[in-house]
Amino acid sequence: MEGSVTIPPVPKPVAAPPGSGGSKGAVEGSATWRLADRIGLAICWGLGLLFCALAVAIVLYLLVQGVKYLRPEMLTTPAAAGFTQAESGGFSDALIGTLIVAVMGISLALPLGVATAVWLVEYGRPVALARITESTIEAIAGIPSIVLALFGTVIFSSTALSFLSRSSEGVVFGRSFFAASAMLSLVALPLIVASTREGLNAIPRHVREASYAVGKTKAATTRRILLPTAKPQIATGAMLGLGRIIGDTAIIVVLLGATQNFAPVEDAVFPFNYLRGAGTTLTNFVYEASPTGNLNQPEKAYAAAFVLLLMVLALNAAVDIVHRRARKVGTWSS
């Protein structure tokens, strides 16, 4: 794959400079390495090890705290009002909320992102519109999520969209799972577009030409050949996007409401009464339960953060597996 070695293998060095990782092969002996160079290499090693140490420390610390404070019943009981941490229930609503938001957000972002990428790579005319679209995607990637959240409050408080959230006496509440998921899908969108484009661009021209030659339309080629081939990259993009969705807090705090329980609306049938109501997610729970939040239950914050971290780790592992499997299948190199 992409340049695991930038310098082609060269003969083993006679005497590699200390700690230079001789496997890639240094051409010169250690004599040409001045003191400044060696100090630089030491900084490299130090920072590299520091990164590893920080990652390990984050995981281990949350693991210890999570094991210490996480109780199975926390995952099954909703938050309740109480004076002590023992009385105030768990965070089942937050856990389910995270799952709802993840599913809804990604099911909005995935089709939209893949369609945008297909248009950019396969059609892309007029060129000016393609340029504009590319910069639009870049701009969306750069918009702070708190700004997206504020924009969401404007959209979803409009009376035309009152069916997506709670409304009373003509005032639309504007906070619901629909609102939060719609805005979160914009957070995931640029990642999906980027990695789908990468996947489509990696497919060489002759594959498309072979398909056109047997009379397939562009649309059919895309659906039957290009998208299945680019599946690993699409999956990667989707999972990266998913990670951003479950990790986002600002949009949840603003668009899902400052409650720790589901707040279903009364005048709707089953799934929609919950989806139109306010709710919470794990990130929101951690934010509120931290000492700077309103609940101040650091033990439960640790437990919820641990659950959240497990989800993130699982997503990371899934990305890794997809990558490795895609590499094993091989690319289109002739």
Partner 1 sequence: MQEELTPEYGPKWPDQRVERMLGALVCMLVGLLLALIVTVFVRGWPSFAHNGLAWFGSGGNVDDQLNAIFLSGQSGAEYIYTFHAWPLIWSTLLITGGAVLISLFSALFVAVFIVEFAPEWMSNVLQPVVRFLASVPSVIYGLLGVLVLVPFIGNDLISEDQKASVAGIISLTGYSLIAGVVVLALMIAPLMVSIFSDGLRSVKPGWLEGSLALGVNRWRTTWKIGVRAARPAIVAGTVLATARAIGEAVMLAMLSGSVGFAPNPADGLIFIFEPSRPLAPTIVKNIDQLSSPPGGATLFSIATVLLFSAAIFSLCGYVARRSMRKYGTA
Q: Which is nearer to partner 1, 136 or 273 (CB)?
A: 136
- Cβ neighbors of 70 (< 8 A, separation 6 or more) are 302, 303, 306, 307
Contacting partner 1 (CB under 8 A), which of 14, 64, 103, 143?
Answer: 143
Say how many residues touch partner 1, by CB under 8 A: 94
Q: Which is nearer to partner 1, 118 or 164 (CB)?
A: 118
Contacting partner 1 (CB under 8 A), which of 69, 177, 274, 302?
Answer: 302
Q: How far is the CB of 58 from partner 1 (least distance, A)?
A: 7
Interacting positions 234-253 with partner 1 (CB under 8 A)? 240, 243, 246-250, 253
Of 61, 51, 62, 52, the C-alpha closest to 282 is 62
Interacting positions 189-218 with partner 1 (CB under 8 A)? 215, 217-218
Interacting positions 70-109 with partner 1 (CB under 8 A)? none
For position 142 contacting partner 1 by CB under 8 A, the verdict is yes
Contacting partner 1 (CB under 8 A), which of 103, 138, 202, 327?
Answer: 138
Interacting positions 150-169 with partner 1 (CB under 8 A)? 150-151, 153-154
How do beta strands 171-172 and 167-168 pair? antiparallel
For position 21 contacting partner 1 by CB under 8 A, the verdict is yes
Helices (H) and strands (E) in the chain, counts: 14, 2
**Residue 273 burial (CB < 10 Å; 0-12/13-18/19+)?**
middle
Are 94 and 260 within 8 A, CB to CB? Answer: yes
Residue 103: count other Cβ atoms within 10 Å of its Cβ.
Answer: 13
Q: Which is nearer to partner 1, 268 or 318 (CB)?
A: 318
Are 183 and 149 within 8 A, CB to CB? Answer: yes
